[in-house]
Structure 1
């Protein structure tokens, strides 16, 4: 059951439709507001008077419990503040957030997607606040690692991502892409937990021989987690970052994309993916994996929503690179928190964003089975999945191996990756053609930006 302050997305449909009608001829949302940060800011939440903030996000399961717990704690800390939360489907929120933020009755705070397709569009359209003044007020530049901070930054001329001003903040939890495994199945098969790509492939072959599905996978909605997870095993941290942030003359092939596509194609030919995955959607495949279908699954940490006995039934692997001992992994906060340019209470909204990066927020994440970030002094429960995930995050910290989500490199890159992953697995494009499509998408964007 949802908490009393949480409502479903249906409640906002009417206002979004009205905004859509008004902006149908202006996809960019009209005239952009100034991109400069507020000149006068305050951290005096208690002195702000009675304040009601609207929050929109897409989190369910343990992630929903996390945000609701922090809303409760923030309201207890500041009884003058009420936060009304709306939970939306991820696709709905990312596709309509620009419209919601143009609506006077839209959210004050929202969880956007990083990259050009969401956060960059919102910032360039003047729909979200420049948060530099609050970054100074709360010391975010000292508290947030630069590899994470840059995921929320754009130059104020919006020519460059990954540097400049803050237009969003991370959370005190992280989302990685890696490999989940069913520990019970590995034990039944007599297979050790793989620690390298070679060992993973050997385990997959043995699972196939034993009649198991080696890699649980859905293809109906263009699942790219396997492709991007494999890419991090072949591409260097420098090349992937430079490609996404538009630095230097890096090609998709140099980021490991061709090698990743080749490996995924070979796995499909070997029959290692879920049979008839073309007609299976993400949520169905996830539920099937939790019910015992498949030995391994590439996914985002936190996405499985593990609880109870599942926390010891499933483990997590952050594989090192295919050639070498360093570890590179996709990692970011699971959402870029933005403040609407129309909010009447920017100071209170910023205080809430700061609270979402606090020690309390990190510990709440760990307590709920999520992966904490930003604050080192967190007690990790003694369960398999969380110990594995926490170890993965520490490895990436030590190797400075975090890379952003690859689709941030252009507004249309997610579509390009999704379509070409489907075409690759259907045998209609070759691995090198996937890289060529990725290069063409990014080059066209950079040429027009």
Structure 2
């Protein structure tokens, strides 16, 4: 049994257990809050021998801020005379501030944002195309297509690391009931049934009627063969039926329809639940709050199941004063093996580079290794590449609402699937 030993990294994460709150992170592992006024943009110093590089981000938790500070130090050390100015912009203001600045032909050199929202910023003209840089990037083949985002033959954003879902398990409960961490859906359902018979809840997850719900529904729906590129109503119905069946069987609380991704993990760390569908970003919360042994395995999703790759996107501002220097910053920090290793150490995020994801810091860590495995074997572009950029928000809301309605019993799985299919005909064409 893959029992987690609380490592030094987990103890550091425990000190920052509130680092990433689910309401904003679900898709991007981010946290909002605080107050700040973003500057108008970076300025090159006279003579061109020194420069200030301005980086906008929405991090305010200690470990996330430390990552940004470390990235600044890395870049300044490698580029004499350059100063990196990290600027905090509240999460819920990031898009509007970046778009507003671009409207005035100003803005940051580098913007770090919810990766799922790259199309919103790109369609508003706030992000610079990266094609010229990417075409000449020697390590481009280290990054999977699922972390490279663009439209109309232009690349607008990349992800230096990802956050994704796995299956957390209470090792003490599994030992008590005599089952191993599941590797198939049949094993998962059998384990949840045994846990229920022993007086425990089977699983926690989020059933919110919005994008968080669609994010958590996606692995289970695709496990039944559903695919946005070729949507099949029977497969979608089967996905809704499976998880609604967990509620009917007493494995999952119907209250899940009111839970964001924070509450289900709090339920898990209370020690009364066998499993939790949740992300790598919960490592700090687990280390801080769980009084039992725990571990993670890849979500058991059969042959067709896929898992979204969330996390922050990184881009060059459309009106950067130093676009070449901004690209150098991205190469030195987010896209380098050393920079991605820092994200592992400080935040517990999973490197997006193929070589960095196989580093011992990831593969030898019993919590991170299953997420790395999922990235390489089941990682899916988020948002799904089959969804037109202008339809993303509407689709996520529509599927999230149907997911929540099916779990709540407000619709039958068949009705929920039919509603989604009708919407998809409009959105996908």
Q: How does the TM-score come out when normalised to structure 1?
A: 0.73
The CA deviation string for residues 240-259 of structure 1, in whole angstroms up to 9 with x for no partner, is 4xx2xxxxxx22437x4322
1:80-91 correspondence to structure 2 within 5 Å: 80-86=82-88, 88-89=90-91
Question: Counterpart in 2 of 1:195?
Answer: 183
1:217, distance to aligned residue in structure 2 (A) = 3.1
Hey, what's the Cα distance between the residues in 2 that align with 1:63 and 1:253? 41
Would you say 1:227 and 2:229 are equivalent positions? no
1:27 paired residue number: none
Measure how far apart 1:340 and its partner are.
1.7
Aligned match of 1:52: 53
Distance in 2 separating the partners of 1:226 and 1:7: 21
Aligned equivalents of 1:106, 1:444: Cα separation in 2: 35
- 1:380 and 2:361 are equivalent in the alignment: yes
Preserved CA contact (<8 Å) 1:317 1:392: no
**CA separation of 1:365/1:196 partners in 2, compared to 1, >3 Å: closer, same or farther?**
same
Instruction: Kindly indicate whether residue 302 of structure 2 is the aligned counterpart of residue 301 of structure 1.
Output: no
Give distance in 2, aligned partners of 1:393 and 1:311: 29
- 1:393 lines up with 2:382 in the alignment: no
Change beyond 3 A, Cα 1:226–1:350: same
Matches within 5 A, 1:322-361: 322=302, 326=303, 328-332=305-309, 334-354=311-331, 355-361=333-339
Q: Which stretch of the first structure deviates more once superposed, 174-183 or 197-206?
A: 174-183
2 CA distance for matches of 1:137 and 1:307? 41
User: Match for residue 298 of structure 2?
Assistant: 318
Matched, 1:428 2:427: no
| CA root-mean-square deviation | 3.6
Map Cα deviations across residues 337-368 of structure 1 (whole Å, 9 max, x no partner).
Answer: 12221221212222222230111023223334
Q: Matches of 1:438 and 1:350 in 2, distance apart?
A: 40
- Residues 128 and 318 in structure 2, CA contact (< 8 A), matched pair in contact too: yes
Alignment of 1:21-170 (within 5 A): 49-58=50-59, 60=61, 65-79=66-80, 80-86=82-88, 88-89=90-91, 93=94, 97-99=98-100, 101-102=102-103, 106-114=107-115, 118-139=117-138, 141-149=140-148, 152-155=149-152, 164-170=153-159
Aligned-pair CA distance for 1:270: 1.7
Residue from 225, 242, 248 that aligns with 1:269 = 248
Give SS of 2:75's match.
helix
How many angstroms apart in 1 are the aligned matches of 2:70 and 2:291? 20
CA contact (8 A) 2:57 2:111 kept: yes
Closer/same/farther in 2, CA of residues 385 and 271 from structure 1, 3 Å limit: same
Higher relative contact order (CA 8 A, sep 6+): 2
- Contiguous gaps of at least 5 residues in structure 1: 17-45, 156-163, 244-249
What TM-score do you get using the length of structure 2 for normalisation?
0.76
Please name the residue that 1:32 is paired with.
none
Structure 2 portions without partners, runs of 5+? 1-15, 20-30, 41-46
- Residues 157 and 313 of structure 2 are in contact (CA less than 8 Å); yes or no, is this contact kept in structure 1? yes
**Which secondary structure does the structure 2 equivalent of 1:422 belong to?**
helix
Count of residues in correspondence between the two structures: 382
Equivalence map 1:239-278=2 (5 Å): 239-240=227-228, 243=229, 250-253=230-233, 256-274=235-253, 276-278=255-257
Which of 389, 397, 411 is the equivalent residue of 1:415? 397
Q: SS where residue 10 of structure 1 aligns? A: coil
Measure the CA separation in 1 of the matches of 2:305 and 2:208: 28
Please state how far the C-alpha of 1:7 moved relative to its aligned partner: 10
Which residue of the partner structure matches residue 10 of structure 1? 35
Secondary structure at the residue paired with 2:126?
coil
